[in-house]
Amino acid sequence: MRAMILDRIVNMAEDSEPLRLVELPVPRPNDGETLIRVAACGVCHTELDEIEGRTPPPRFPVIPGHQVVGRVVENGPGARRFRVGARVGVAWIFSACGACEHCLGGRENLCAGFRATGRDANGGYAEYMAVPEAFAVPIPEVFSDFQAAPLLCAGSVGWRSLRLAGLRDGQTLGLTGFGASGHLVLKAARRLYPRSKIFVFARSISERDFARELGAAWAGDAAERPPEPCDAVIDTTPAWGPVVEALKNLKSGGRLVINAIRKEDSDRDRLLQLDYPAHLWLEKEIKSVANVTRADVGEFLELAATIPLLPEVREYPLAGANGALIELRERKIRGAKVLRM
């Protein structure tokens, strides 16, 4: 099978081709696993973090990709959940222990044994992948393969962020950063909270224009003040600066939800300081998002199918993965990027 592999940590400012196209044997499904022929795989900012070493894979080589859609071609011993030919998806959660307090309490995203697809286990930048059948999800028929792929991460983690924001209809929501996750959150929030105003803070003019096209009541730069303070803000940026600005834009008692696996530690960010009275006083809250659960993925797919919520998608061939990643790094974003096999 063809696959794009990562051999080492790479500074993409110096190397624009961090992934290598290779031929590998088709994996065999182990006990309880199902083998998927991959049709599409979303390209996510987290892949940049893996490649550049901010959330590095535990071993090399590894096949990235954690927004995987394909069809079951074989079941391993004991795997009976999906018939051959069934269309399934694989999200960031590849597996969890199933026995710790977090797993038993419905918070498997916090499990110490959490394994991430495309980082801790081979992912979907390939023609085939094997996954524990318990962690694959059925894909609703309303979506094409390419529309479904970004729903598995950008959509599902955005859904978790939106729930953690605790918004009520009529309250004001801010979205800081407007990539694949932000545009899906805006679409979902407009459906769930029709009386709420949504303000978008984005660096590029094209992102702000896109937000207005999708129904944002206002769009501006992260350092600008919106028409009114926000009850909640969801931050999806990789930087610290927008976090500080978002805290300024919160109402008293408001909540900031940070939907990011890490934050850059730049020289500029080291100069930032929290001003307690201006940024945190009056019972403002900060909540982080860690991974996703299977329930997050299933709930969001059901919601998205009901709306239906169809993401904006740009397709690339498997061999074009490096180009898609470079565009993502350079903030050339409109909707979601998806590899086709």
Q: pLDDT truncated to tens, each residue of the chain (341 aa)?
A: 999 999 999 999 999 999 999 999 999 999 999 999 999 999 998 999 999 998 999 999 999 999 999 999 999 999 999 999 999 999 999 999 999 999 999 999 999 999 999 999 999 999 999 999 999 999 999 999 999 999 999 899 999 999 999 999 999 999 998 887 888 899 999 999 999 999 999 988 999 999 999 999 999 998 899 999 999 999 998 888 888 899 999 999 999 999 987 777 665 655 567 777 778 788 899 999 999 999 999 999 999 999 998 888 999 999 999 999 999 998 787 778 999 99
Whether residue 151 lies inside any domain: the answer is no
Place of tokens 């590899």: 339
Alpha-carbon torsion, ordered 190, 195, 199, 204, to 10 deg: 30
Q: How many CA atoms lie within 13 A of 215 on its CB side?
A: 17
CATH assignment of the domain containing 44: 3.90.180.10
Q: How many domains does the chain have?
A: 2
Q: Which domain holds residue 16?
A: 2-139+311-340
Collapsing DSSP to helix, strand or coil, 63 comes out as: coil
Whether residue 227 lies inside any domain: the answer is yes
Q: State whether 61 and 176 are in the same domain.
A: no
Q: State whether 173 and 242 are in the same domain.
A: yes
- Euclidean distance between CA atoms 175 and 196, whole angstroms: 13
Bridge-based pairing of strands 2-6 and 19-23 is antiparallel
Whether residue 101 lies inside any domain: the answer is yes
Does 57 sit behind a cis peptide bond, omega within 30 degrees of 0 on the bond before it?
Answer: no
pTM reported for the whole predicted model: 0.91
CATH assignment of the domain containing 274: 3.40.50.720
Helices (H), the chain: 45-51, 101-104, 145-150, 156-165, 180-192, 205-213, 241-248, 267-270, 294-306, 321-329
- Euclidean distance between CA atoms 143 and 293, whole angstroms: 21
User: In this structure, are residues 9 and 53 in contact, taking their beta carbons and an 8 Å threshold?
Assistant: yes
Q: What one-character DSSP code corresponds to residue 278?
A: I
- Euclidean distance between CA atoms 308 and 279, whole angstroms: 37
